[in-house]
Amino acid sequence: MTEIQQLLADREIILPEVITGHVGGTAVAIDPQANRHAVYFPGTGERIAFLQEDNITAVTNAVHCARNSFDNGDWSSAPTSSRQAVFRRAATLIREHAEELALMECLCAGLPASHLASRQIPRAADNLDFFADYIGVMAGETFEQLAGYQTSVTRQPAGVAALFAPWNAPLALASMQIASCLAFGNTCVLKPSEFTPVSVLKMVNLLEQAGLPPGTINVVNGSGTVTGAALASSPDINRIAFTGGSSTARHVMAAAANQLTPVHFELGGKSANIIFDDADFDRAVDGSLVNIFSNSGQICIAGSRILVQRSIAARFVAAFVERTQALKVGDPLDPATEVGPMAFKTHWQRVLDHIAKAKLEGATLLCGGEPLTKLGDGYFVAPTVFQVNSNRLSLCQEEVFGPVVSIQIFDEDEEAFSLANDSRFGLVGYCWTNSLARSQAFRQKVDAGTLWVNTPLARDLRAPFGGFKESGIGRDGPRQAAEFFTEEKATITAIDKVPIRKMGETTNTDAGK
128 binds ligand NDP (CB under 6 A): no
Name residue 143's beta-bridge partners: 151
399 binds ligand NDP (CB under 6 A): yes
CB 55 within 8 Å of CB 226 = yes
CA–CA dist 195, 248 (Å, integer): 16
Choose one: 105-113, 127-135, 165-173, 283-291; the region binding ligand NDP (CB under 6 A). Answer: 165-173
Sign of CA dihedral 95, 100, 103, 104: negative
Q: Which of 300, 396, 399, 431 is catalytic?
A: 300
168 binds ligand NDP (CB under 6 A): yes
Choose one: 225-233, 365-373, 435-443, 488-496; the region binding ligand NDP (CB under 6 A). Answer: 225-233
Residue 75 vs 164, nearer CB to ligand NDP: 164
Choose one: 93-101, 161-169, 365-373, 384-392; the region binding ligand NDP (CB under 6 A). Answer: 161-169
CA–CA dist 456, 299 (Å, integer): 13
303 binds ligand NDP (CB under 6 A): no
CA–CA dist 481, 186 (Å, integer): 12
164 binds ligand NDP (CB under 6 A): yes
Task: Please report, as residue ranges, which positions from 1 to 40 form the binding site for ligand NDP (by CB under 6 A).
Answer: none
CB 472 within 8 Å of CB 267 = yes
Q: Give the x-and-dash track for 423-452 against ligand NDP (CB under 6 A).
A: ----x-------------------------
CA–CA dist 513, 313 (Å, integer): 72
Q: Which of 266, 338, 399, 470 is catalytic?
A: 266
Residue from 70, 184, 380, 401 touching ligand NDP (CB under 6 A): that is 401
Residue from 223, 259, 439, 454 touching ligand NDP (CB under 6 A): that is 223
Strand spans (E) along 187-271: 187-191, 217-219, 239-243, 263-266
Residue 348 CB, nearest approach to ligand NDP (Å)? 13
Residue from 112, 157, 159, 166 touching ligand NDP (CB under 6 A): that is 166
CB 432 within 8 Å of CB 287 = yes
Q: Give the x-and-dash track for 231-260 against ligand NDP (CB under 6 A).
A: -x----------xxx--x--xx--------
Residue 299 vs 409, nearer CB to ligand NDP: 299
Choose one: 222-230, 322-330, 482-490, 496-504; the region binding ligand NDP (CB under 6 A). Answer: 222-230
Sign of CA dihedral 323, 326, 329, 334: negative
Residue from 127, 193, 271, 486 touching ligand NDP (CB under 6 A): that is 193
Cβ-proximal residues to 448 (8 Å cutoff; 6+ apart), any chain: 271, 420, 426, 427, 428, 429, 467, 468, 471
191 binds ligand NDP (CB under 6 A): yes
With vertex at residue 351, the alpha carbon angle to CA 118 and CA 410, rounded to the nearest 5 degrees, is 90
Find how far residue 494's CA is from the centre of its chain: 45
CA–CA dist 72, 86 (Å, integer): 18
170 binds ligand NDP (CB under 6 A): no
Is beta strand 18-19 parallel, antiparallel or unpaired with respect to 46-52? parallel
- The answer to whether residue 470 is catalytic is no
Is beta strand 384-387 parallel, antiparallel or unpaired with respect to 364-367? antiparallel
- The answer to whether residue 300 is catalytic is yes
Residue 34 CB, nearest approach to ligand NDP (Å)? 15
- Catalytic residue list: 266, 300
Binding positions for ligand NDP, rule: CB under 6 A: 164-168, 173, 191, 193-195, 223-225, 228-229, 232, 243-245, 248, 251-252, 266-269, 300, 399, 401, 427, 467, 472
